[in-house]
Amino acid sequence: EAGVTQFPSHSVIEKGQTVTLRCDPISGHDNLYWYRRVMGKEIKFLLHFVKESKQDESGMPNNRFLAERTGGTYSTLKVQPAELEDSGVYFCASSQVGGAQETQYFGPGTRLLVL
């Protein structure tokens, strides 16, 4: 069974440019999460999809970030325009069952560097 995949693995862009990150969850997983780790800080939650609906987007830093999950399969996270502080590692995770027994499966992350 394929795990969670993310594309690209690395991205280097200039301030003001747009970047789109993609996440393909494990097949059949309704829950999809985005997280971010800024250098020196802990991993922080960005948002949670259940199928194609945004269940919780309380962690999204501002309106420069737009996440979509059309059709309830893969998800994209667009940053437009990118700022220096957006640099970090963006992780995607998916799970089949929510609640107390939920185990989230994480992708390898996309390393974003904004210059």
Residues that bind other proteins (CB under 8 A): 3-4, 33, 35, 41-45, 48, 56, 58-59, 91, 93, 99-109
Residue (9 or 18) nearer to other proteins, CB: 9
| Nearest distance from C-beta of residue 105 to other proteins, angstroms | 7
Alpha helical stretches, state H, 9-94: none
Least distance to other proteins from the beta carbon of 45, Å? Answer: 4
Tokens for 65, please give them.
């970030």
d(CA 82, CA 16): 5
The C-alpha atoms of residue 42 and residue 104 are separated, in whole angstroms, by: 17
The least distance separating other proteins from the CB of residue 13, rounded to whole angstroms, comes to 20
**CB of 10 or CB of 51, closer to other proteins:** 10
Nearest approach, Cβ of residue 16 and other proteins (Å): 28
Residue with smaller CB distance to other proteins, 5 or 17: 5
d(CA 17, CA 13): 6
Nearer to other proteins, 62 or 103 (CB): 103
**What are 26's two structure tokens?**
């494990």
C-alpha 64/C-alpha 91 separation (Å) is 18
